[in-house]
């Protein structure tokens, strides 16, 4: 199976994924042929995600609203992400 594709650019998420053992090819922009039948970590529009085998995002259910800006700027540490309950959630998106 091909290596996963990582479309996240947030430094906090990239560090967290690495800490969790997730490795892959980083690409800020992808085309359907770049992700066809591959696992993608990142956010994609539905039409594009339908080409991937599955798409994973990171959720932070305990992240305080006041910390969102720090997170969006990539300033949270791996430990702060863990404290915010960071977890990987995977979806399979198919065309109807």
pLDDT at 33: 97
Judging by DSSP bridges, how do beta strands 87-91 and 54-59 pair with one another? antiparallel
Torsion of CA 44, 53, 61, 66, to 10 degrees: -20
Parse the chain into domains and list their residue ranges. 5-91
pLDDT at 49: 98
- Segments of the chain with pLDDT less than 50: none
DSSP, collapsed to helix, strand or coil, labels residue 16 as helix
DSSP helix, strand, coil percent of the chain (3-state; round to 5): 30, 20, 50
pLDDT at 46: 96
Neighbours of 81 (CB within 10 A): 23
pTM of the predicted protein model = 0.91
pLDDT at 72: 86
């Amino acid at each position: 199976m091909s290596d996963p594709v990582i479309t996240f650019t947030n430094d906090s998420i990239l560090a967290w994924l690495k800490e969790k053992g997730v490795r892959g090819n980083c690409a800020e922009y992808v085309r359907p042929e770049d992700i066809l039948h591959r696992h993608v970590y990142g956010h994609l529009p539905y039409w594009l995600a339908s080409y991937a085998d599955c798409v994973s995002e990171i959720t932070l259910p305990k992240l305080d609203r006041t910390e969102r800006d720090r997170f969006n700027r990539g300033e949270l540490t791996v430990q702060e992400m863990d404290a915010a309950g960071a977890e990987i959630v995977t979806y399979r998106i198919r065309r109807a």
